[in-house]
Amino acid sequence: MNVLRRISENHLAMAGAAVVALLFFVAVFAPWLAPYDHSAFDSAEILQPPSARHLLGTDGIGRDVLSRMIYGARVSLLVGFVSVGIACLIGVPLGAIAGYFGGIIDSVIMRFVDIMLCFPSFFLILAVIAFLDPSIWNIMIVIGITSWMGVCRLVRAEFLSLRERDFMVAARGLGAGPVKIIFMHGLPNALAPVFVAFILGVAGAILTESALSFLGIGVPPPNPSWGNILTEGKSTIQVAWWLSVCPGVAILITVLGYNLLGEGLRDVLDPRLKTKR
């Protein structure tokens, strides 16, 4: 309850939480909120500007942009959470093992992390996707397996400080095995910064998916994505500005909301920041 009270008093966290809650609401209730079928087109309504009939206009084949934006929120949230979840499933155990055992195990894992960090993440994603069929699931998996290194280093740093704490030493003294100590005693005390990193990672994953879709190698059409709506607007920006402005603003607000929530939660959950103030 004390944590919830501190979160409610943090304006950054509450502003970000409001944006995230709104996005969840839109994504969950998309079939009821969308005024039209997101894939239905009308050749008589091509590139119509925003109006009472189509609040955000129509695209190059007469589809309602607002409906596609609403369903695009589903894609963005799905990609963000699943890909970051995959990254955490890889990074958290590896970081915990490296930080707890240290020595040669730590060196091997961290050198592998360093090798992965040598490759620019976006170009590594492009290289992998070039050999795969275009699919939303492939996008999520590739983003996840190329973005776990930061979580791994974060968890390792937490375990380096936790492994000599009294409760960890006591657990070893009572005969608990490494697996039990890591997952029953260590991880519950290292999850606060991981949760913050998860929230911030969702914003990065949404940006990556939008960039890939904009380049034409992300979510395949006719599935709506904010990135591929931007692609449609690229060639008609002088006559159909809404195709570029609407998804661009949606991406901006979404990423800003997650970043505000993540920064606010870090202020609330990290006691070291309080001691500096």
Which domains are present in the chain? 2-31+56-276 (1.10.3720.10)
pTM of the model as a whole = 0.86
Residue 89's pLDDT band (boundaries 50, 70, 90)?
very high
Spatial separation of the C-alpha atoms in residues 132 and 175, rounded to whole Å: 47
Q: What is the average pLDDT value for the chain, to the nearest integer?
A: 85
Q: What's the pLDDT at 84?
A: 93
SS3 category, 57: coil
The string of pLDDT tens digits covering residues 34-85 is 988 888 888 888 888 898 888 898 888 889 999 999 999 988 889 889 999 9
Q: Identify the pLDDT of residue 170.
A: 84
Total Cβ atoms within 10 A of residue 274:
10
- The DSSP element (H or E) to which 215 belongs, if any, is none
Q: Residue 116, SS3? A: helix
Query: Which pair of tokens denotes residue 55?
Result: 């609040």
Q: What average pLDDT score do residues 183-201 get?
A: 85
Tell me the per-residue pLDDT of 210-262, one tens digit each, with 9 for 90 and over: 888 888 787 877 788 888 888 888 878 888 888 889 999 999 999 999 998 88
Task: Kindly tell me if the per-residue pLDDT of 271 is higher than 70.
Answer: no
